[in-house]
Each structure stands twice: as C-alpha cells, then as structure tokens.
Chain A
C-alpha cells in the first residue's frame, strides 16, 4: 500500500483516515436502510456530510500553504469557487433542452439575455473530461499567474494576504456582471444530472458523498506526502527563515509558486465536488468572508497538522449549520468570537489542546 506510506509517523492522520473510512461505510449502510428504520439516513444528511468533506479538502489545501509555507491566503475560496463554476458549466450544459426556455444549446440565462450563440469560453464544457480538466486548470493557472508576480516581487505577510483578499473580491464583482456570461448574481443552478445520473436521486447523492470522501483522502495523502518529503521541510524552512533559505541556495519564489498552485488546484477540485451537492454556484461564493471562514476553520483545528484542518472544517461547519438553524443572526458574532478566542487561548488549535493534554 504505497498510497498509505505518507501516513507513517502521522498519528493524527492515521486516526483521521480510519474515521473517514468508518464514516463512509456507516453512511453507505445507513442510507440504504429502509425509510421506517430509525437509523435510516436521509439524503439531506448524506449531502450535508458530503458538503463538509469538500470544505475539509479546502481547509487541507489552505493548511498546506498557511501552516507549512506561511502564506496566509485570504482568497482561497476564490479557487474553490472557480472549480465550482467549471463544474457548474458542465452541469448547465447537461440540462440541454429541459430548461425553462427549452433551448437545446443555450442555458436559460443566456436566452433571457437575448444571446444567440454560446460564448467561446463555454465551448467544450458539455464534455465531462474537459470540464474536469478546467476544474484543475483554471484555479491552477490563476494561482500560477498571481503567484508568479507576487512571489517574484517578494510580497509577503500582511501585504500578500490583502492582495489575495482583493483578488477574490475582484472576482466576485466580475462574476456579478451579466455580461461575463456566468449567470450574473443568480449564478448557475437548476442542474438536472451528472454523467447521466439524476442529481435528485438518493443513489447519486450517496455517490457524490463517497466521491468527496475518496478525493479528500487522496488530497490528504498528497499533501502529507509533500509535507513529509524534503520539499515539506524546505517549505517550513521558508516559513521560518525565508532569507536564510535563499542564502542556502533555494529559489524561494519557485517553491512558493509550486505549492501555492498545487493548493489552488486542490481547492478547485473541492469546489467541483461541492457544486453538484448544493445544487448552485453563484458569485457570493467569492465573498471575502468565505475565505476568512476557511482561515478560521484551520486556526480552530490547528495549523500545520493537516488533520487539524479537517477537524476544524467539519467542527466549525457543524456548529454553523446548527447555530444558523437556532439563532440565524448570531452566527457571524459566534464566528468572530471563535476566532478571537482561539487566537488568544489556543494558538495551536484544538489539536494543540489535545496534544498538550496527552503530554501532561
């Protein structure tokens, strides 16, 4: 099992993988129980869990650049959303003539805008493989171009964070515009099926959940392999003493660029799995707040552990689902308070707390 080799020496990671496998088995069994059975899992819950797992993958991607490389990206949700839009475009093309206007070629919003032909950048998205390629290529390319300029000019720290925040904000404004051809503020929605399977069916939803779990596992293992290699040690060296790393002979900007781009691709894949499960993608996914939430997940879980990011993403989102149901207005205050408290009292997150108790 060479795939599992990166887990050597990663105790938390081993526990995480075991739990993830157990979760997938339990959910698969429980979702297939008859409706009357009290242990039956509704497809709503299955989808909700699937959504958490895509968030967890996004958090792992951020932890790789923040925890290990020291780049506090406040725009990672932008890569997530771009991956989501690429998937959304594929799903839109799958609707075919089943839309409200029944146009076999054009999505509804284009008919509504009186467009007569498909814009060039929508070409090819009816092919699943092409869409999947774009899911990785578009966020990766943006991260590469962005990183190329930012890291070469040695923008670091708070300045870099602010630029990433500006990046996601600019994308939000752009995607809000109808002329962009991505459905304006309504975004892309009303999806029917994926690869020929209806998105409303319980089996498809379970399949998407399992796909999310598998991709999260693979993403985790890939990040873990990076972190455990000498490349990971160079990343931490850059985080702790950037100029020393340069004088030792490492091209710091190339290392940052490679890891940042890889992380953006992971975030894009997470977004692509997210969209069919929630059924919509719109420009609000680019909100600066979303990116900041990701940072909070990672901070709460514990930086530079990877599994801490998973824990934080699932934990905070579970709390969010619960709290927005009970006290809808209180969520943002709770989120802010959480961030302040974690920063003050748990600099190493929940994982740090657990570790410390074990050490004592």
Chain B
C-alpha cells in the first residue's frame, strides 16, 4: 500500500485512457441537468443539476432517501430519468446508452453492497474486469498476455490482496471484498469512478488506506464518492455536494457546507450523533 503514495512511480491504471468521442474540452466530465425521476409517484430525483469537473474528487452526502443511489443508477444506465439530460463529456448522451456501453465508455461503479464474482478467485475477478474487448468471441479466444498479468499483479498489490490472489472471492472478509471491488474498478480503467459507500464495514486503518487511494486517483480520473461516514468525507478534503429530497441543497467545501444553515437543519444537525 505504501507503494501507492510513492511519487516516483506511475501505475498504468493511473494514466487516464483516451476515449474516442469523449470531448472534455470544457473541463467537465459529467453533466446532469434538470433530471427528475419518480417511482410510483415518489420523486426520488427532483430537478437535479450536477456537474463533475475533469480530475475532480467529489463527495456526495445526504440523508437516507435523498437520491444518492438513484443518481448513480441514472449515470450508469440502470434507471432512466423521466425528464432531464445526462452527458458524459460533450458528446456522449448517457440516456441513449445501456449499462455495458456506459461501462465501456469509461464510467466505473462500485456498489454500496460489495458485489464481486464469488466463485472466481481474486485474480480472475480482476481479469474479468480488465479493460479491453468484451465480446463473446474475444473472450473465447483470450489469452492472458504477460503485460496484462503484470497489470493485474500491480492492482493486487495496490489493494493489498497479493497474498489472496488464488483465493475464492466469496471467502474474503467484507473489507477485502470492498477492496477487491475497488481493484476491479481500477482494472476497468474508467475516466469517471462512482464509488458508493466505500468505507462501509472497514476498520479505521483500512479506511485511511481507502482515503489515500481515492485521493491519489483524483487528478487523472474523476471520482464521485457517496458516503455516510462524516469523518471519512472530511478526510477526503474535497468539494461536497449535499443532496436533499432529490435535489442539490448545497455545494462547497466541507466547512462551508457544515456551516450552511439549511444543511444543518435537514441533515447535519440531526446527524451529529451519527457522524
């Protein structure tokens, strides 16, 4: 893990991938404008405007039901909004793409509940997530090249699972599964990472490592973190967006947000005991 903090070394996955058609000339990687979606009359997202800059690390917080996970579902193509628009860079309209297309275009997602391929070994999990052609034929004929193997081993080292490489992913601890899933994200080499509650079930040490990793990823990648744990959010030292009832309530640094009277009223005031 200490390796990741070394300044003299650049990992392959740290170098952002060039994606055709993706126009980032305006410095914004994700645009969500006036997005609304309702489930059975309940407005989960209500007129949401959300922008992420290239290379930015952004935290999204908000009370339960504020629409954090639904927002991620919309970005990754799992849920279609009723109204609004959602663009990846200037040119890719996310509302016209499905999950695999969006994933291939360069948006990776870590779920709230760690989801890994339980019957596969840690190594195989990373192999499956690796960026590259993902058609039926290419997977049938795929042979692991030494470079790819090296890439997987690098990521294994970063997520601290090099000794568990051959172990079945289903037998890992909760925290290790979280890390494996982050590792799978790294293998996917996305431009935009959506990370849903990465710290859940982690010890304080593991949490510190996660903070270091996420921070190091920002800059080359854009990272959006959804988190409940206030200490974790504070230690990321990033811009914070507060969601409330499906819309943006406030945006700014953690200190600004914390001192915003509206935020205190709906969220932090009641959640101090929790955080």
Contacts and interface: CB of A to CB of B under 8 A. Distances in A.
Interface of A: 226, 229-231, 233-234, 236-237, 240-241, 243-252, 254-255, 258
8 closest A-B pairs by beta carbon, nearest first, are: A249-B103, A246-B99, A231-B140, A230-B142, A231-B139, A230-B139, A237-B117, A258-B136
A19 B111 CA distance: 47
Interface residues of B, number: 29
Given A248-B184, A249-B104, A252-B100, A236 B120 contact: yes
Contacts of B25: none
15 contacts: A226-B140, A230-B139, A233-B127, A236-B117, A240-B117, A244-B117, A246-B99, A247-B111, A248-B103, A248-B134, A249-B103, A249-B188, A250-B134, A251-B135, A254-B135
Contacts of B92: none
A254 B76 contact: no
B119 A230 contact: no
Contacts of A243: 78, 99, 115
A12 to B, nearest CB: 17
Nearest to A256: B136
A312 B115 CA distance: 33
Interface string B112-133: 0001111110001001110000
Interface string B54-91: 00000000000000000000001010000000000000
A88 to B, nearest CB: 32
B141 interface: yes
Contacts of A250: 100, 134
Contacts of B108: 247
A212 to B, nearest CB: 26
Given A236-B117, A248-B128, A229 B134 contact: no
Given A246-B103, A247-B99, A249-B188, A236 B136 contact: no
A247 B108 CA distance: 7
Q: Which of A248, A252, A254 has the most CB of B within 10 A?
A: A248
A234 B118 contact: no
A254 B140 contact: no
B100 A230 contact: no
Contacts of B118: 240-241
Q: Which of B76, B134, B142 has the most CB of A within 10 A?
A: B134
A252 B100 CA distance: 8
B244 interface: no
B109 interface: yes
A287 B135 CA distance: 36
Contacts of A234: 128, 139
Interface string B93-108: 0000011100110001
A229 B117 contact: no
Given A240-B119, A248-B103, A249-B134, 18 more contacts: A229-B140, A230-B128, A231-B140, A233-B120, A233-B124, A233-B128, A234-B128, A236-B120, A237-B117, A241-B115, A241-B117, A244-B117, A248-B128, A249-B100, A249-B103, A249-B188, A254-B136, A255-B136
Nearest to B117: A237
Contacts of B140: 226, 229-231
Contacts of B98: 246
A251 B124 CA distance: 18
A249 B184 CA distance: 12
A234 B138 CA distance: 11
Nearest to B110: A247
A229 B108 CA distance: 25
A2 to B, nearest CB: 14
A247 B76 contact: yes
A241 B116 contact: yes
Contacts of A249: 100, 103-104, 134, 188
Nearest to B190: A249
Contacts of A254: 135-136
A43 B100 CA distance: 54
A229 to B, nearest CB: 5
Contacts of A245: 117, 128
Contacts of A237: 117, 120, 128
Contacts of A226: 140
Contact of A244 (B104, B116, B124): B116
Contacts of B128: 230, 233-234, 237, 245, 248
Given A237-B128, A248-B129, A255-B136, A229 B141 contact: yes
Contacts of B78: 243
A233 B122 CA distance: 13
Interface string B135-149: 110011110000000
A234 B139 CA distance: 8
Contact of B127 (A230, A240, A251, A255): A230
B68 to A, nearest CB: 17
A251 B103 CA distance: 10
Given A231-B139, A249-B103, A244 B127 contact: no
A244 B136 contact: no
Contacts of B142: 229-231
A316 B109 CA distance: 46
B73 to A, nearest CB: 11
B128 to A, nearest CB: 6
B135 A247 contact: no
A163 B11 CA distance: 49
A244 B111 contact: yes
A255 B135 CA distance: 8
A244 B118 CA distance: 11
